[in-house]
Amino acid sequence: QADFQSGTLTNVVATAAGDLELANNPALSFDGVDDYAQIAANGFGKFNIQSFTIEAWVYVGALANYIIVWSYDYTSHVEPYYAQHLRIESGGAVFLGFNIAGVFKKLVTASGAITAGAWNHVAAVFTSGKQEIYVNGALKASSGETGSVTYYNQPVWVGRANFGYTKACILDEIRIWNRARTQAEIQA
C-alpha cells in the first residue's frame, strides 16, 4: 500500500474541513482550475503493477465531468489514453480507464453511483480477468478483461490527467495497493 502524504502539491489546499481523520492528516481540496498533486515524475518502476487497487474518499459539492482521482497516463491524450485512471463523471458514474497490451479499455458504473454533497468511498480493482468498481463498499461494476497493462515513462497524478485538471472536489485517504483487494477488505 502507498499513501501520498509526500506528493508534490501544486495550488492544492490541505484542509481539515470535512476531513475523515485528524487535522495533522488533512484532505486535499481542489478548486477545479489548476490544482493537482504529482505523486511520481515517472511512474515506471513504482506503479507499473499488474494487480492493483486504487481507493479514495471523494467529496463533491456538485457532480461534474472529470473529477480526477488518480491518473497514470499514456504520453498524450490519444488512445490508449491511460495505464491507470480513476475519475467521477458528471452523472455520478465512476470511470476506471486502463489498457490491455496498449489497447484502451474502460469500466464504468451506472450514473448515480456517487452522491453529491456527501463523502463517497471509491475503490477500483484491476487484475487480469477481473476488474471491479466499488462505491461505499458495494460492487457497482465488473468486467473480465484478460492481459497485462502497458505502462509508460509518464508522471502519476492526483487531480490531473494528460487532458487537464480535476473539477472541484475534496479527496482524502488516496491509496494504491499492489494487489486486487477483496470486497471484504474494501468494506473494512
The predicted-structure confidence for 110-139, as pLDDT tens digits, reads as follows 999 999 999 999 999 999 999 999 999 999
Higher pLDDT, 88 or 10: 88
Partners of residue 99 on adjacent β-strands: 104
CA distance 44 to 31: 29
Residue whose C-alpha cell is 457532480: 63
Name the phi and psi angles at 10, rounded to 5. Answer: -125, 110
Name the phi and psi angles at 185, rounded to 5. Answer: -65, -40
- In angstroms, the Cα distances linking 110 to 33, 64, 148 are 27, 15, 26
The type of residue at 18 is G
CA distance 174 to 9: 14
Mean pLDDT, residues 44-55 taken together: 96
Q: Calculate the average pLDDT of the chain.
A: 91
pTM of the predicted structure, to 2 decimals: 0.92
Please give the pLDDT value at position 19.
Answer: 45
- Retrieve residue 13's grid coordinates: 489546499
Please give the pLDDT value at position 1.
Answer: 40
CA distance 188 to 102: 34
CA distance 30 to 11: 8
Q: Would you place residue 91 in the very low, low, confident or very high pLDDT band (cuts 50, 70, 90)?
A: very high
CA distance 40 to 57: 21
pLDDT surpasses 80 at 25: no
Q: What is the C-alpha end-to-end distance of the chain, expressed in Å?
A: 15
CA distance 15 to 163: 26
